[in-house]
Structure 1
Amino acid sequence: MENFEISEESNLPPDPIISFGPEDLRGVVAPHNDALVVTVTIANYDVARIFVDSGSSVNVLFKGTLDQMKMEGFELEPISTPLYGFTGHAIRPLGQIFLPVSMGNDPRRVTKMVSFTVVDAPSSYNGILGRPAMKDFRAVASTYHQKLKFPVGREVGMLRRDHKVARRCYDGVVREEGKKTRVEVSMIRRGGAMLTVARREVQTLEEEEPEVVELGVSGEKLKIAADLEIEAKEKLIICLKANLDVFAWSVQELRGIKPAVMEHKLNLLSGVRPVKQKKRHFGPDKDKVIKEEIGELLWAGHIREVQFSTWLSNVVLVPKSSGRWRMCVDFRDLNKACPKDCYPLPRI
């Protein structure tokens, strides 16, 4: 069996030892299965929601992120190799771009030129740092400790995870990102020489709560994006105030359409016997939710009580992504008794 030895250049300083210990677990709620999501600086933009994926063979930057950065002077290099996810579906990249990426904070900050594959696809993340970036930065990631460490000279730099952001990305509930501005001069090293990146305004891409605007004297409020420009925000508020009557501010205002304008009737197949479903039991917690939902519908006038019903269907509670319940009605027996429309929608 042959032995292989990795040779190192004598003029390169030895890398510091990178390790993870109990002190790295401070602030980490265990046990967890969270992905490692960090914030890095890409071409002078502090970009949040960067997924560290050691299983990815490429570094990915999504088109939506690139559009928000509003960069000039950078062109995409054509690339023909498709990307394949774990589902086996192929995605055709828009191109490839080389951008300076910085990790850490001064004095333990390091910058490298990183090749990104630009993809036009929906994602909760702004980008993915794969194996190529991990190799360039000689970084070591620990999802258990929720940290990314990398050598900076003879010291060790570190990125901590964005815990709440990682959870929101996993759940697919990510709000619109706002922008904050500062000025920064960045230095990068290429071929042993120090190059200065031009002084420019830095757009910080991070999450921001929507702004609540009061529109009427009765306390009507709406949420609008917090990152709107001042002129656009003023025009939007003027438009909303001028059209307050368009919105329904309570369930009582949702009166529906008058039967004189339009009325919907169910066509039943001839000879079909009405079905009265047996009463189902949901338990005290679900019964409380059903009682509250029915009470609101009765109070708003959307439903009325019927003493002798021909058809009788139970309600069904469906869990929402927010953890609450959505009340539906089990109309399967009624649907079976209705003739099927072969063309329920017009051909577009």
Structure 2
Amino acid sequence: MHPRGVISFPVTLSDGTHSRTEEVEFLVLPATSKHDIILGREAIGDFNAHPSTAHGAVGVPTRTGVAIIHVNRHCFTTESSRPCKIPRQAQRTEPEKWILNKKFPDQTVIIGPSISEIVRTFLKQLLVKNIDIFAWQTADMTGVRRSISEHKLKVNPLITPIVQKKRKISPEQTKAMNEQVQDLLHAGIIREIKYQIWVANPVIVPKSNGT
């Protein structure tokens, strides 16, 4: 298996009282796993950590003391210090269609099945925290500077336009087209202007859901 690349970011190990942060390099692999990240031997050495499988814990020296980090305490039996088996959650096979904005339930966020449940939870929290950056309707698309996004019709002034025959559009397509144009007009994204020599027939392309 060939890694996609290498990323580096600070990792903090803490038991709630003592903590230590080190810069750790990670190989990015094109694979699914029940683990989000795996600390290798070099990272363990950078932290000077001392893991103990028997106790289900790892000790990390810090400036304020030794941080003792345990596995899930609720997973230990009362008869011995051996960790019990953690039941695996059923692995997803289909993408999750998640409603981020309840005001627009038809606009869902699709989350892939290979993402672990922990990352899935943090991803949803991140999206909810930044819900204001999404354009949920046409009116939300205002404020984009022309230096960022602008469409121009690059035409050659030496070329004579070719006259097209008027294309017939069904009443259903005409209604959909008018609604889209009115939304853009009300939002101030477009304005009415006349180019009588550059009039083109509109093309209506249906979406994958049939609308």
Q: TM-score range by the shorter chain?
A: 0.3 to 0.5
What's the TM-score, normalizing by structure 2? 0.42
Higher relative contact order (CA 8 A, sep 6+): 1
What's the TM-score, normalizing by structure 1? 0.28
